[in-house]
Amino acid sequence: MSAPPRIFDRTLHRKRLDRAAAGFDAADFLHRRAAEDIAERLAPIMREFPLAVDLSARRGAFAQALAGSEAAGRVGLLVEADLSGAMLAGRAGPRVALDEERLPFAPESLDLAVSTLGLHWTNDVVGALIQIRRALKPDGLFIGAFLGGTTLTELRQSLVAAEAELWGGAGSRVSPFADAADAAGLLQRAGFALPVADVDRVSVTYAHPLKLLADLRAMGETGVLADRHPRGLSRALLARMSELYVERFGDADSRVPATFEILTLTGWAPA
């Protein structure tokens, strides 16, 4: 069996997350939104989850959202996990630094697994989902949120146009994301039962495109493509990208939107 293609540099991604950890709380609005949504989805499920794991826990948004939700009393031990040890530092409770591509959990050991905006950085999403399904007990639950295909569409278009204008061509700079239409199929391919996929499109406005780039850096969500563009983001390219971004997408006050598409998958390990 051939190995999955290496799309992302996972080592670089971990370093970016480590760098972002100290200031992550200033730009965690997407992570908190996804975590609160997952906690809300758990609330009407009337069953106990003695052992749960939060993959891509970052600075603990899901644990905080769960503590304030109706499901809090039905989740027993919550293990927080993240690719970045720095993201997990400084708080109590069981925590483990791990790679979502190589999960360390024993087969049929977990009652609940959640993932908050981390799986879109895995080289083999289906492979990661298969590992999660195997780690769940029969009838165990998985709820995962990750960024979908229309995320950062304005930035993509502006970068491509600026590169084509300045350099006569454009290369890949923004990471690829899964299409919403294929989301439920990912769970089916991984062997989950009763797969459900939902889409939450979020539009955030910024005073300037560079403010968006600063937020992406603070989130640890800057590009880590293994086959990186041979040219860096020069000042000239960033300046022209910003001009095009404002021209094409800016409002009357010259503020610019940034689209984020959050795909949330729910599936059960077959009983």
**pLDDT the model gives residue 3:** 64
**pLDDT the model gives residue 57:** 97
With a cut of 70, say whether residue 162 has pLDDT above it: yes
pLDDT band at 176 (very low <50, low <70, confident <90, very high): low
What's the Cα-to-Cα distance from 209 to each of 71, 171, 188, 244, rounded to whole Å?
39, 19, 38, 10
Summarised one tens digit per residue, pLDDT across range 115-151 is 999 999 999 999 999 999 999 999 999 999 999 989 9
With a cut of 60, say whether residue 262 has pLDDT above it: yes
pLDDT band at 81 (very low <50, low <70, confident <90, very high): very high
- The mean of the pLDDT values for the chain is 92
CA quadruple 103, 120, 129, 194: dihedral sign: positive
Phi then psi dihedrals of residue 232, to 5 deg:
-75, 175
Kindly state the average pLDDT of the residues 219-236.
Answer: 81
Kindly state the average pLDDT of the residues 19-33.
Answer: 96
pTM: 0.92
Between 42-46, 95-99, 176-180, the lowest mean confidence (pLDDT) is in 176-180
Give the 3-state secondary structure of 118-164.
CHHHCCCHHHHHHHHHHHEEEEEEEEEEEEECCCCHHHHHHHHHHHH
pLDDT band at 155 (very low <50, low <70, confident <90, very high): very high
Distance CA 163, CA 169 (A): 6
**pLDDT the model gives residue 78:** 97
Output the CA torsion 92→71→38→117 (10° steps): 10
- What percent of the chain is predicted at pLDDT more than 70? 94
pLDDT band at 223 (very low <50, low <70, confident <90, very high): confident
CATH superfamily for domain 10-151+175-205+262-268:
Vaccinia Virus protein VP39 (3.40.50.150)
Q: Token pair for residue 195?
A: 């797969």
> So where are the chain's domains?
10-151+175-205+262-268
Summarised one tens digit per residue, pLDDT across range 96-112 is 999 999 999 999 999 99
